[in-house]
Amino acid sequence: MNYLIEFKLFLENEDKSLNTIKSYLDTIEKFQFWLINCYQIYDLKIISIREIKLYRESLLLKFSPSSVNQKLSAIKTYYHFLKEKGEINVNPSNNIKLQKIEDNFDSQYLTRSEELSILSTAKEMGMKTYALVLILMKAGIRVSEVSNLRVSDILLNENPTILVKNSKRQKSRYIPISKDVVEALNSWMYERNRSEKIYHQSSEFVFTSQRNERLSERGIQLILKRIEQKTNIKLYPIRLRATFANNLLQTSGIPINILSSLMGHSNVNTTLRYASPSMDDKRKYINKLSEI
């Protein structure tokens, strides 16, 4: 039985906002889809804490800790609702812990030393990994957009550009790319084109996997996870996008509307969160008080 309609009424009675209700319902639907897709579990009432922990791990590969916490809160609320309704005897989410948030946005972008360590490790892992990480870090595109990037979408001439198609809300955008990204992509394409593997020769996609013509989003997330394990630096995809935005804001003073266009945001307010000052920024200005 689908309890989403009753859950919606429950949230309304709890005086949740319309946005919160929509977000919670969306989270539960995606959780159910994940359970079906991964474990053929169709009934959310029969799961244990194990399934929620596994889902939390999969979310952490893709989202920041704060986003994961929002989704976990929705799941915990849903099981509280089922327990109150008498549909389950034990709430499997009771002992699920939320993720620790480190200094909010400050922890989302990489320090320069972290950038260098990650790039060095990626290069050691091979040219494909190096080009992949560079394009995420220095073009600011989403994991889904990298996965779907075709050879025909990259122009490596005198005006090197990436065409990002079918991004969020079906909008496409052109992104100029820097010299080091061009060099890495050229090196990877040269290596790929010389490969004797069929999926390298026939694939229209820039990044391929060991078994398929296209490197999946999950495959990219696993590559980042391996780099994280080697460097001991938290490396979920949003950190790379945040680093791209922060570097442009800090080093070039890029207008927020241009940054918004590069990142594919339909609302400039979404981009403004990347303009949040770090603790080091705040300290730099506070320290000037001692000079007065």
pLDDT by residue (tens digit) across 140-190?
898 989 999 999 999 988 899 999 986 555 578 899 999 999 999 999 998
In a domain, 290, yes or no: no
Residues 147 and 208 in one domain: yes
Question: Of the residues 101, 136, 165, which one is the last residue of a structural domain?
Answer: 101
Judgement on whether residues 18 and 58 belong to the same structural domain of the protein: yes
Residues 132 and 164 in one domain: yes
Domains: count for the chain = 2
| 120 in the same domain as 87 | no
- Together in a domain, 62 and 155: no
Same-domain pairing of 77 and 110: no
**Calpha distance 125→119 (Å, rounded):** 10
170: number of Cβ within 10 Å: 7
* Dist. CA 106–CA 109, nearest whole Å: 6
DSSP structure class, residue 100:
P
Same domain (yes/no): 257, 112: yes
Same domain, 32 and 161: no
pLDDT of 103 higher than 60 = no
CATH number at residue 241: 1.10.443.10
Q: What is the pLDDT of residues 161-171, one digit of tens each?
A: 999 986 555 57
d(CA 58, CA 103): 23
Q: Model-level pTM?
A: 0.64
Residue 19 has pLDDT above 80, yes or no: yes
Which domain does 161 fall in, by range? Answer: 106-275
Asked, for residue 57, whether it belongs to a domain, the answer is yes
Q: Report which of 269, 227, 252 is spatially closest to residue 114, judged by C-alpha positions.
A: 227
Same-domain check for residues 147 and 46: no
The verdict on 85 and 114 lying in the same domain is no
What is the rounded average pLDDT of the residues 102-131?
Answer: 84
